[in-house]
Every structure is written in C-alpha cells, then in structure tokens.
Amino acid sequence: MLSVGLTGGLGSGKSFVGSLLADLGCLLIQADQLGHQVIAPGGEAYEGVVREFGPKILNPDGTVNRRRLATEVFGYPERLEKLNALVHPPVRARVRQAQEEFGRREPNGIAVTEAAILIETESYRDYARLIVAVCRPEQQIERAMARDHLTREEVLDRLRWQMPLEEKVRYADYVIDTSGSKENTLDQTRAVYESLRRLTV
C-alpha cells in the first residue's frame, strides 16, 4: 500500500483534490474529520480539552463548540501547542489504524491523508509522497470567506499564522494548481493519480 499526504493552505482546494482522488479509487482519510471525532464526547481527547480550556468551550449539549475553541487558541501559540498535544496523537493513531485496515484489504492500494498542517508538524515524513494543492492568494481569501462565513480580516489573520503556500511547495512531490477550472484541476489530479498508481505495481 502506498501512503500519500495531501496538504495546502486555507482555501487552497485540497479538499476538492482529495475528493477527486477518492473518486479515482484512493482511500481518503481526512484528518480534520478525525480531529472532530477525538474531541467529541467519549473521544480520546475530549476530557483533556475540556479540562485544559474549561466548560466555556462547550455547547449546552456537552459537545465542543469548535469556533469557541478556536478563539481560545487562535493567536496564542502556547495554547495552540497544548491543544495540538492533546488532539494530534489520537488523530495520528486513527490515521495509522485506517491505513493498516486498508492495506490489509488493498495491498496495492493508495491511501491519501488530507491534513492542513502535515508539513508544520513534520508528519509529512510519514508519507511516501506529498501532494500540495495551491491557488492564487486572492482565491484563498475569497474561498475561505464564502465557505467559512469569515470576514476578509479574519481570513487574513488566519493566513498569517499558516506556512505560505510557496514554502509548502518546496516539500511537495506533486503540486496541483486549483486556480483554474474544475476540469483543469481534475486533469492534473488524474495525472498525479496515474503517477502514484505506477509506484504500486
């Protein structure tokens, strides 16, 4: 089984690329979704996160209000580090479990893990190949505003805390530019998929 990392910046199109790779036959593991699961009630990180950040981050039903949690850590590197220390280990464990189960079923398969901060956490080293999705900075801003209902200033604040796309590209084995049409992105993704497929035979 070939294990592949997929990353990019806010609004760079990585989720779209991930969905295309899944359509082509890859297993898609979305680290963000796993992150939501581990901080859900009963999840591995739930109690630690509530203990660290207090009941003010909870909704009335006891679930974590992710937006409220984000305001607690955003712009505070030491708090973000504490949150990551609680969330990342169980997420990584779940990723490994999904990869192992898939590998047993599909020994020649391709497992793609989509995650925002693969490079920043050095997790990219765990993967045989790394794909980075990129687009123009203005597109990142527009997409994030539309998707997450953020103001331009909020998006710019978040982008300031992320590694710039041009820096992420230096780590990439493959770069997919999502600035153009969906058809163009699909063509690039298909070419990457075919290249990855050749590595599995």
Domains in the chain with CATH codes: 1-26+109-201 (3.40.50.300), 31-107 (3.40.50.300)
Structure tokens belonging to residue 36: 């939501």
Residues 39-68: pLDDT tens digits? 999 999 999 999 999 999 999 999 999 989
SS3 assignment, position 78: helix
The alpha carbon of residue 55 and the mean position of all alpha carbons in its chain are separated, in whole angstroms, by 27
Instruction: Kindly report, residue by residue over 80-104, the tens digit of the pLDDT.
Output: 899 999 999 999 999 999 999 999 9
3-state secondary structure at position 172: coil
Supply the mean pLDDT for the chain.
Answer: 94
Best CA proximity match to 165, nearest among 126, 196, 119, 113: 119
pTM as predicted: 0.91
The whole-number average pLDDT for the span 186-195 is 98
Proportion of the chain above pLDDT 70, given as a percent: 100
Q: What is the DSSP string of 45-62?
A: THHHHHHHH-GGGB-TTS
Q: How many whole angstroms separate alpha carbon 177 and alpha carbon 184?
A: 9
pLDDT higher at 116 or 24: 24
Residue 131 pLDDT > 80: yes
CA dist 77 and 56 (Å) reads 20
